[in-house]
Amino acid sequence: MSWKTLAFEDCLERIKTPSKLQKSKYLGKGKFPVVAQEDSIINGYTNDENLVFKINSPIIIFGDHTRKLKYIDFNFVLGADGAKIIKPKSDINVKFFFYYLTLMMPKSVGYARHYKLLKKIRFNIPSLAEQQSIAAKLDATFAEINKLIEASEINIKNINKYIGRVTDYLIHNDIKNYKNFTLNDITNNITCGVAKRPEYVDKGIIFLSARNVKHGKMKWVNYKFISEEAHKILTKNSKPEVGDILYSRVGAGFGDAAIIDRDVELSIFVSLTLIKVKPIVLNEYIFYYLNSPIIKELARKNITGTGVGNLNVGAVKRFKIKLPDLKNQKLIIDKLKSLNILGENIINNYIKKKNNYIALKQSIYDSLLFNKKTKVA
């Protein structure tokens, strides 16, 4: 088999970066699909025919900021700046090149360096007939593997939905001997972290933000440090302690609660809310309460501000809760803990399956696309 080595730009007929299309032009329904670089997927439609990019052969959309690609074989409108329209030369099969780019795109570099690094790759290209054959094989094989990956993802979503429904039932509906409270009534303190970003140091006291509270768990990675002096000032009135609850209130992951599970000195940023419960309520009960779908939806409805948005602490204090006695709280906690352990074990099995399918795709990529070693300048 004869392969030739080409630089990225030598493979292309053109690279085009269209001007930005305002979102107001394509909200709602329309005739022409809009592809946005932030997702590299169709995210709306427009009727403005003047904005349509008409193609006579397939092309590739490359989201420079998102490291994502989309194979396009229909007329469309590009909905944001930062994306590039890539059209390979006539002797390069578009689907083959799409698969090649998908495999070779750098995964861990910063946004600004991403496209520059991509241009340094040297591609090993076989004859057009062989490209078409490889693309066809990948299409057929990946169609089956993608179905298996999608099935795993659907099963994971369904398990999480089921756990959510049971949590709502136990926390909000099937409660015996309960009393009505607001969250403020049953807590000693609900307060957000410091609004002004403190000065970071190389070593010192752990400083957490919303990214350290994800999916109901503490994430003890990628945190910052502040000085002990700054920590004393920030925790003068309220100090986070093991067993307290941290509740995210800013960003895409708002409304996520986790229990501090390490006995360490720490301070928190404004993106987190610190919750200290009174003796009449168990911290694990509040943990399940805050992470229940009903309260997640309540949190969403209380988001204020444009752009990132935030969940106001005052709104959180007004959240209503049906609170049973400590004995029944413990019974509910035990049921939910057992359910979550079982669900997590099943989900982990599906994640392993999904990862195995992804590894299989990688292996197929390697066998069909790397007859010669690909080089980076």
For residues 254 and 279, membership in a common domain is answered with yes
Alpha-carbon distance of 51 to 18, in angstroms, equals: 10
Taking alpha carbons only, the member of 283, 279, 275, 229 closest to residue 248 is: 275
Residue 291: closest CA among 170, 154, 155: 170
Among candidate residues 289, 67, 277, the one with its CA nearest the CA of residue 185 = 277
Q: Does one domain contain both 271 and 365?
A: no
312, 302 contact by CB (below 8 A)? yes
Asked whether residue 375 carries a pLDDT value surpassing 50, the answer given is no
Say if CB 70 and CB 35 are below 8 A apart. yes
The answer, yes or no, to whether residue 109 has pLDDT greater than 60, is no
- Digit-coded pLDDT (tens) for 39-95: 556 667 777 777 777 888 888 777 766 667 788 888 887 765 567 788 888 899 999
Six-digit token pair at 159?
A: 């398990």
- pLDDT surpasses 50 at 372: no
Q: What is the largest CA-CA distance in the chain?
A: 78
Number of residues that this document lists for the chain: 377
Q: Which amino acid is at 303?
A: I
What is the number of domains present in the chain?
3
DSSP state of 282: -
Evaluate whether residue 156 is within a structural domain. yes
Q: How far is CA 149 from CA 230, 357, 359, in A?
A: 48, 7, 11
Say yes or no: 162 and 273 in one domain: no
Same domain, 329 and 213: no
Give residue 367's pLDDT. Answer: 81
CATH of the domain at 39: 3.90.220.20
Written as one letter, the residue type at 240 is P
Q: Are residues 151 and 54 both part of a single domain?
A: no
State pLDDT tens for residues 251-310.
Answer: 777 899 999 999 999 999 999 999 999 999 999 999 999 999 999 999 989 888 655 678
Indicate whether 32 belongs to any domain: yes
Query: Which whole number is the average pLDDT over 324-335?
Result: 95
Token couple for 75:
């007329």
14 with 138, same domain?
A: no
**Other Cβ atoms closer than 10 A to 127:** 13
φ and ψ at residue 279, rounded to 5 degrees: -60, -15
Is 47 part of a structural domain of the chain?
A: yes
pLDDT at residue 362 is higher than 80: yes
Q: Which residue has the higher pLDDT, 337 or 373?
A: 337
How far lies 204's CA from each of 219, 221, 223, 233, 244, in Å? Answer: 18, 15, 11, 14, 21
Together in a domain, 115 and 134: no
Is 184 found in the same domain as 297? Answer: yes
Please state, in angstroms and as integers, the Cα–Cα distance from residue 230 to each residue in 21, 27, 175, 211, 269, following that order: 45, 46, 44, 21, 12
pLDDT at residue 165, as a whole number: 96
The larger pLDDT score, comparing residue 307 to residue 7, is at 7
Residue 17 CA to residue 361 CA, distance in Å, equals: 31
Range of the structural domain that residue 13 is part of: 4-125
Q: Does position 376 have pLDDT exceeding 70, yes or no?
A: no
> How confident is the model at residue 240, as a pLDDT?
95
Same domain, 273 and 332: no
Q: Is the pLDDT of residue 369 over 80?
A: no
Buried b (16+ CB within 10 A) or exposed e, 130-156: bbeebbeebeeebeebeeebeebeebb
Q: Is residue 376 part of a domain?
A: no
Tell me whether residue 153 is in a domain. yes
Give the model's confidence band at 162: pLDDT under 50 very low, under 70 low, under 90 confident, else very high: very high
Q: Which residues contact 43 (CB under 8 A, 6 or more apart)?
A: 34, 35, 36, 79
Given the DSSP bridges, would you call strands 266-268 and 32-36 parallel, antiparallel or unpaired? Answer: unpaired
Model confidence at 30: pLDDT above 80: no
Query: Residue 174: is its pLDDT beyond 60?
Result: yes
- Report pLDDT for 267: 94
Question: CB-based burial of residue 369 (10 Å sphere; 0-12 exposed, 13-18 middle, 19+ buried)?
Answer: buried
Based on the fold, state whether residues 269 and 139 are members of the same structural domain.
no
Q: Is residue 158 part of a domain?
A: yes
**pTM score, two decimals?**
0.76
| Mean pLDDT (the chain, rounded) | 84
191 shares a domain with 272: yes
Q: What is the CATH number of the domain that holds 342?
A: 1.10.287
Confidence class for position 335, pLDDT limits 50, 70, 90:
very high
What percent of the chain lies above the pLDDT cut of 90?
A: 51
First to last CA, the chain: 24
What pLDDT, on the 0 to 100 scale, is given for residue 261? 96
Q: Are residues 212 and 231 in the same domain?
A: yes
Of 94, 125, 156, the position where a domain reaches its end is: 125
Let me know if residue 377 belongs to a domain: no
Q: Confirm if 99 and 138 have CB atoms less than 8 A apart.
A: yes
**Across 333-356, average pLDDT:** 96
pLDDT, tens digit (0-9, with 9 covering 90-100), for 11-29: 877 656 555 555 555 555 6
Mean pLDDT is lowest, of 41-45, 145-149, 199-203, 243-247, for: 41-45
